[in-house]
Amino acid sequence: MLRSFALIGLISISLNATAISPVRLSGAGVIPKPVSVTPANGVFSLTEKCSIVVSGESAELMQLGKFLAGKLNPSTGFGLIVKPSDGTTQAGNISLLLGSVDPKLGDEGYLLTVKPDGIKLVAKNPAGLFNGIQTIRQLLPAKIEQSGLQSGPWTIPAMTIRDFPQYSYRGVMLDVARHFFQVEDVKRYLDLISLYKMNVMHLHLSDDQGWRIEIKKWPKLTQTGGSTQVGGEKGGFYTQEQYADIVKYAAERYIMIIPEIDLPGHTNAALASYPELNCNEKATELYTGTKVGFSSLCTGKEITYQFIKEVLGEIAALTPGPYLHIGGDESHVTKLEDYIPFVNRVQQIVNDLGKQVIGWDEIALSTLKPNSFVQYWAKADNALKGVKQGAKVIMSPAANAYLDMQYDSTTKFGLNWAGFIEVPKGYNWNPATLVPGIGKANILGVEAPLWTETITNMKELEYMVFPRLPGYAEIGWSAPAARKWSEYKTRLAGQAERFRALQIGYYPSKLIPWPATVPE
Ligand code: ACM
């Protein structure tokens, strides 16, 4: 039910059916902020007469049309259909076309034209259309996201949006090792990140406390290593079929899944499952605490490399994307003279599987392959070593981008070893200037990790992730000159109604001018 707004009331005074807030009127409410928004005259109204028309009969375009219809139909009740274009233009439709656009829009950009007589979305690639669809969702009233029938009108002010991202890699990481998250949870997280045009989910699939992906040649990894989690409760794992289902679900949202098997440290779950992986041939005990840095594969044994080849081989076969993440962090009990040749050899194994390595910043201590990537989380020196070797960097600075860091001292879960990250701190940094010597040309993109030592379920996950996540999405997408906290915080406040419609339990930071009441 709609109730009154207080702060938003200033800009959305009337709750009658035709009111459109100036934020929506200018298209300026969208997160991430588009490259350019040019207002025009009039308003488009979505009605039951509208069709979603796609250019050509390609299955992928029909799929995109159906994705959009799937977002619009539950709340409008219109039962919009998706059909291939017959070449004529019909008033009132939403058209999705692949076509030539300004090359500056790149692989993921789009051109969206909203006129009173229809909406036209054009992009070079399906990924661009998918991004434009997210903009259409955000231009419609927030109640479009409700799963049950709502009353309209469903209007979008006329405008043209030209848009493309700064970085091709915009992602999150989810640690499913410390606490396991079910397939349905991962799918919900994928849905939530896709609304903000993020295109990567890195899954941290193994750690001291748990092994979470079935490996057919090494079944005890999940039977034993996946049996528990932090705190000693029952663990869990994805079968290969379930994992493939996650990868497919992500791909339908133009999101790449990057699997991580953390090596050579953070491996107690594997060491507890197979005695032969230990230098002393004795399996370790399962571990359900939260300390780090105590475990290592036995880098001097050949079976270790056979293990890695077979594990990564099975995972590579489930991975359409180019990257395998090999961890490499906090191997405190692996001597550096063992660590370096180990990482060098694992990079070769990954390349032999036809994939490229991503590793946490410590891997820059080794000799990087020309196609390896370094993920900066802790030590700028390591990231710089990577850049000096020609590697590109993924920016995940713990003090700015770790979603498990608490907002402040009153946050009930999460950690604070890298400091508190209130919402403005999470937003107010520029990947291209954070570390002297690492500029935009050295950066692949931005990723916000969520470690789950203290995060046990989706309610806690969503509280830590929202409302910071749209900020990380915007850092990856929008130009630094276009980003200002003083303006962003109003757009973020405007997302409250959308969060509510999507049943996201977000942290209501006092630093954001939320509307006093939000429609339910
Ligand atoms: C990490 O936070 N250990 C990459």
Per-residue pLDDT tens, the chain, 520 aa: give them: 333 333 333 333 333 334 555 555 555 699 999 999 999 999 999 999 999 999 977 899 999 999 999 999 999 999 999 999 987 767 889 999 999 889 999 999 999 999 999 999 999 999 999 999 999 999 999 999 999 999 999 999 999 999 999 999 999 999 999 999 999 999 999 999 999 999 999 999 999 999 999 999 999 999 999 999 999 999 999 999 999 999 999 999 999 999 999 999 999 999 999 999 999 999 999 999 999 999 999 999 999 999 999 999 999 999 999 999 999 999 999 999 999 999 999 999 999 999 999 999 999 999 999 999 999 999 999 999 999 999 999 999 999 999 999 999 999 999 999 999 999 999 999 999 999 999 999 999 999 999 999 999 999 999 999 999 999 999 999 999 999 999 999 999 999 999 999 999 999 999 999 998 765 4
Q: SS3 of 279, please?
A: coil
CA nearest ligand 1 atom 1, residue: 329
| pLDDT at 167 (0 to 100) | 98
484: CB partners within 8 A, 6+ apart: none
If we measure between CA atoms, which residue out of 241, 237, 102, 85 comes closest to residue 161? 102
280 Cα–ligand 1 center, Å: 27
| pLDDT at 141 (0 to 100) | 96
Asked if residue 402 has its Cβ within 6 Å of ligand 1, the reply is: no
377 Cα–ligand 1 center, Å: 7
If we measure between CA atoms, which residue out of 424, 510, 404 comes closest to residue 475? 424
Q: What angle do CA 71, 75, 76 make, to 5 degrees?
A: 100
End-to-end Cα distance, the chain: 5
Asked if residue 373 has its Cβ within 6 Å of ligand 1, the reply is: no
3-state SS, one letter per residue, for 395-459: ECCHHHHCCCECCCCCCCCCECCCCCCCHHHHHCCCCCCCCCCCCHHHEEEEEEEECCCCCCCHH
191 Cα–ligand 1 center, Å: 25
Whether domain 10-163 has CATH 3.30.379.10: yes
| pLDDT at 513 (0 to 100) | 96
Asked if residue 429 has its Cβ within 6 Å of ligand 1, the reply is: no
Q: DSSP code of 414?
A: S
Query: Is residue 31 within 8 Å of residue 478, measured between CB atoms?
Result: no
pTM of the entire predicted model: 0.95
Q: Measured between alpha carbons, how far is 513 from 496 in angstroms, rounded to an integer?
A: 10
CA nearest ligand 1 atom 2, residue: 377
364 Cα–ligand 1 center, Å: 14
Which token pair is 68? 């959009």
How do 154-163 and 36-46 pair as beta strands? Answer: antiparallel
Asked if residue 399 has its Cβ within 6 Å of ligand 1, the reply is: no
Asked if residue 377 has its Cβ within 6 Å of ligand 1, the reply is: yes
Q: Measured between alpha carbons, how far is 85 from 87 in angstroms, rounded to an integer?
A: 5
The torsion angles phi and psi of 35, rounded to 5 degrees, stand at -60, -50
Which of 325, 377, 452 best tests ligand 1's pocket when mutated (most atoms within 8 Å of CB)? 377
Q: DSSP code of 285?
A: P
Q: Which atom of ligand 1 is nearest to the CA of 377?
A: 4
> 449 - beta bridge partners?
173
How do 200-204 and 154-163 pair as beta strands? Answer: unpaired
Contacts by 409-414, CB closer than 8 A, 24 or more apart: 411/507, 413/454, 413/455, 413/460, 413/463, 413/464, 414/454, 414/455, 414/464
The torsion angles phi and psi of 485, rounded to 5 degrees, stand at -55, -40
Which of 451, 452, 453 best tests ligand 1's pocket when mutated (most atoms within 8 Å of CB)? 451
Query: Is residue 444 within 8 Å of residue 450, measured between CB atoms?
Result: no
Q: DSSP code of 323?
A: E
Tell me the CATH number for domain 169-302+313-480.
Answer: 3.20.20.80
Q: DSSP code of 17?
A: T
The torsion angles phi and psi of 72, rounded to 5 degrees, stand at -90, -30
Q: Residue 345: exposed, middle, or buried by beta-carbon count in 10 A (0-12, 13-18, 19+)?
A: middle
Radius of gyration for the chain, computed over Cα atoms and rounded to the nearest angstrom? 24
Q: Which atom of ligand 1 is nearest to the CA of 402?
A: 2
Residue with tokens 């999150």: 172
| pLDDT at 20 (0 to 100) | 55
The torsion angles phi and psi of 262, rounded to 5 degrees, stand at -80, 125
Q: Measured between alpha carbons, how far is 325 from 315 in angstroms, rounded to an integer?
A: 11
330 is catalytic: yes
200: CB partners within 8 A, 6+ apart: 169, 170, 171, 172, 255, 256, 258, 445, 447
Asked if residue 376 has its Cβ within 6 Å of ligand 1, the reply is: no
**Catalytic residue from among 314, 330, 460, 474:** 330
Domain boundaries, the chain: 10-163, 169-302+313-480
